Structure 1
Amino acid sequence: MTASSSRSGRAWAHVGQPFTPPAPRPDGTHHDFIVIGAGRMGSVLTAALAAHAPATRLLLIEEGGLPNEDGDTILAPGLWTTAHLPADRHAAAQASRALIETFGAPTPRLHVSLHAHATPGSVPTRDALRDHPDTLALLDPARLPHATTDPHALTYRPGTLALNAAQAAVRAGADLLLNTRAVPQPGGAVRAERLTVTNTHQVVTHETHLLRARHVIVAGGAAGPALAEQHLGVHTRHGRAYRQSPHLNVPSGPDSPTLHHAGLTLVPRHGAYTLHPRVHHRDPHGYRPTGGHLTGVPTGLRRETLEDLVALMEDLPVLATSQLHLGRSLADIPGAWTALPYGDPLHAPLFEALDPHVTLLLGGPHADTLGPQVAQALAQQLAGR
């Protein structure tokens, strides 16, 4: 993607930088597009809109102090691989890879999926990990004798992708409003609440602006469907789940492969491993995450995650050691809400029109591999209107 705008956009980081909306046009709109949420989906979308429609007025709004300061983008595995995708999704995955290589600073990394029984294309696990004896030591090759490999996989930091894409969007002419809570309103309006912190560390609204756009894209991650329901009166079938990322204090190196078995992914990070357990189901409305107990001792892992890891301890004996960080409370284990688009997860990420002026953009379990392409496809569709 190349920026073709004749001007750079502006970024407002805090309330000390006065924000004045642009003068409304004859139709009453201040912007052509307003994007709510500067996670990886919203940031890539804005960068693509700035490239495909350089003459438009674009505004990207983020509640945090940086593009994707927290949330599922920061805690996502950051693993691109086609290992678990059907062939008809590979082209979309390759399009996402090109965007990841542009914005995500990826690292090529072997990906190994472990199996108890032979599968098409599998090889002996010992052969797959011959050059990685430290990784082989994490598992029991007698219980998992077969493996399939993806030598073209890569890892990246989704937060870096979001930051770089947002910066590219600003360079291409988009404006960026940080520390601002955005609330969609009917008819393409957005209530922007600029936030500040009091001397007692309370987050309060400093000023409010009502902005109007030809089109609003809600890219607020797991909070997106709730924003639509509460403020637009539009029912969506999408849900969310609280996903945790426990730490495994086992040494890893720059060439260590990622491992996948029974829904659990082990990603080398910071010289150790981050575990990414599978998401079983959406959490019910109003659910508040709580930690579990292991033999009566409180842990920071929610019960479903804890039970999964216990069930895998024979296949992956390292999980039964003190190197697995369990924590004593929920606050000890990094976690975030992740969006769960309705229906077949292989058809997500996705976007859907909520009304003629608002589109919902969602990531989900396959956002690492398919999310950037979906955001770009939406940008192309919007720019062509």
Structure 2
Amino acid sequence: MTSARPPGRVWAHVGQPFTPGTSPEPLHDVLIVGAGRMGSALALALTEHAPHLRTLLIEEGGLPNEDGATILAPGIWTLAHLPDTQREAARWTLERLRTLLGDDIQARAYLTLHGQPAPGRQPTRDLLAAQPASLALLDPDLLSYATAYEAHTYRPGTLAQTAAQAAIRRGTDLLLNTRATPHPGGHVTLERLTVTNTHQIVTHETHNLRAPLVVLATGAHAPAQAEHHLGVHTRHARAYRQTPHLATPSTEGAPILHVHGLTLRPQHGAYTLIPPIHHRDPHGYVPQGGQLTGVPTGLRRETLEDLVGLMDALPALATPDLHLGRSLADIPGAWLALPGGRPDAAPTHERLDDHAHLLLGGPHADTLGLWTADQLAQKIARETERGQ
């Protein structure tokens, strides 16, 4: 079931006046803070499960936000590392991805590499016989066996944009370049942002909105917002993940390789490296950059140690193909939410108080994020039908 409403309104910059009005009744039923893939997916799902609700999607940056976790996410759907209980949700997500992205999602093999034989493992040389370029990345004498999984790759930023645009066509309103601060009772302070001629981000105007329901979908920032502004302590954590570049050539059908926590994702004719997530960040580590400039940050020590420790098994890491930057400002990275405080936890949603929900993607958002957003949309639909 979809909404018969006209398309929603979009406020992209401060030159478009935003007039929430002075009516004592809320103009929107749901305020979604954060238009990454989780918030955008929720907005779209609400148009299907609760088309009667008036929804405002709020994003501090553009669409998608250039310095958020969505734009730098791996974009790998795979059943690898998932328990059997989550596979049905993963399959549902894959069908949803195909519906939204069409040809922008690509099937690939996913190989987890091992040094010892075990049931279900096959010789690495056999699995990579048709991929000599991929075989050249590793030492097959040290990583002689592999487990193969189904996988698909896509761009999470494209997913966020596609989902948001579809939601807007069905009546969702979108407010960009706006910082939102939640308060108890469904109140939200909106600061519309602009950039001065000296490249400073400043508040152009401030508005106060109220809605029966506010959803925090701001990724790694959401637990802190819940605690600092709503007074609700959560068990969730965050980590800072970086994705160095490996210039070793990759072919169109090159498989994804996974070695001791490091993932090599074929992308743009080379590889993006996705290191394991370190739960705790170094003391005093404060990444700089991002915002509206897109300036990334320096390489953190733990990520470098991971790569050095794998250079024997993956000789390509010990060549000039590994780009660690000419300065400390060349390695992109983003804060990542850890649902439940664990790097292996699935995306989740939870009620914070009578007027607020928390929606988190985390490390498995590529595979399970759309399903989780859809589950929250169904929950909101049931609650509104009961008049709660």
Q: Give the TM-score range, shorter chain.
A: over 0.9
Aligned-partner Cα distance in 1 for 2:193–2:158: 24
Gaps of 5+ in 2: 289-296, 384-388
Aligned-partner Cα distance in 2 for 1:308–1:342: 24
Compared with structure 1, are the counterparts of its residues 217 and 285 closer, same or farther at alpha carbon in structure 2 (3 Å cutoff)? farther
Amino acid aligned to 2:99? T
Aligned-partner Cα distance in 1 for 2:325–2:64: 29
8 Å CA contact 2:12–2:175 kept in 1: the answer is: yes
Compared with structure 1, are the counterparts of its residues 172 and 288 closer, same or farther at alpha carbon in structure 2 (3 Å cutoff)? same
Aligned-partner Cα distance in 2 for 1:12–1:51: 23
After TM superposition, what 4+ stretches of structure 1 lie above 6 angstroms from structure 2? none
Counterpart of 1:309 in structure 2 is 307
8 Å CA contact 1:350–1:374 kept in 2: the answer is: yes
Compared with structure 1, are the counterparts of its residues 284 and 383 closer, same or farther at alpha carbon in structure 2 (3 Å cutoff)? farther
Cα offsets for 1:29-85 (capped at 9, x unmatched)? 221100000000000011001121111110000011223333111111100000111
Counterpart of 1:382 in structure 2 is 380
Counterpart of 2:226 in structure 1 is 228
Alignment of 1:125-140 (within 5 A): 125-140=124-139
Counterpart of 2:252 in structure 1 is 254
Counterpart of 2:364 in structure 1 is 366
Aligned match for 1:349, one of 344, 347, 351: 347
Q: TM-score of the superposition, structure 2-length normalised?
A: 0.92
Amino acid aligned to 1:189? H
Cα offsets for 1:316-361 (capped at 9, x unmatched)? 1100111101114442101111111225544421111111111111
Amino acid aligned to 1:30? L
Amino acid aligned to 1:370? L
Q: In terms of mean alpha carbon deviation, does 139-148 or 15-24 score higher?
A: 15-24
Counterpart of 1:78 in structure 2 is 75
Counterpart of 1:96 in structure 2 is 93
SS in 1 for 2:280: coil
Give the aligned length. Answer: 373
8 Å CA contact 2:346–2:364 kept in 1: the answer is: yes
Q: TM-score of the superposition, structure 1-length normalised?
A: 0.93
Once the two structures are TM-superposed, the CA of residue 6 in structure 1 deviates from its matched residue by 2.6
Aligned-partner Cα distance in 2 for 1:320–1:18: 54
Aligned match for 1:31, one of 28, 32, 48: 28
Alignment of 1:299-338 (within 5 A): 300-338=298-336
Give the fraction of aligned pairs with identical amino acids, expressed as a percent: 63
Aligned-partner Cα distance in 1 for 2:6–2:287: 45
Cα offsets for 1:185-217 (capped at 9, x unmatched)? 110111111111112221111111111111100
Once the two structures are TM-superposed, the CA of residue 285 in structure 1 deviates from its matched residue by 8.3
Aligned-partner Cα distance in 1 for 2:157–2:64: 8
Gaps of 5+ in 1: 291-298
Once the two structures are TM-superposed, the CA of residue 286 in structure 1 deviates from its matched residue by 6.0
Compared with structure 1, are the counterparts of its residues 119 and 382 closer, same or farther at alpha carbon in structure 2 (3 Å cutoff)? farther
Aligned-partner Cα distance in 2 for 1:120–1:22: 65
8 Å CA contact 2:287–2:298 kept in 1: the answer is: no
Counterpart of 2:205 in structure 1 is 207
Counterpart of 2:45 in structure 1 is 48
SS in 1 for 2:323: coil
Q: CA RMSD in A?
A: 1.7
Aligned-partner Cα distance in 1 for 2:132–2:308: 24
Alignment of 1:32-181 (within 5 A): 32-104=29-101, 105-150=104-149, 152-181=150-179
Compared with structure 1, are the counterparts of its residues 22 and 43 closer, same or farther at alpha carbon in structure 2 (3 Å cutoff)? farther
Aligned-partner Cα distance in 2 for 1:347–1:315: 28
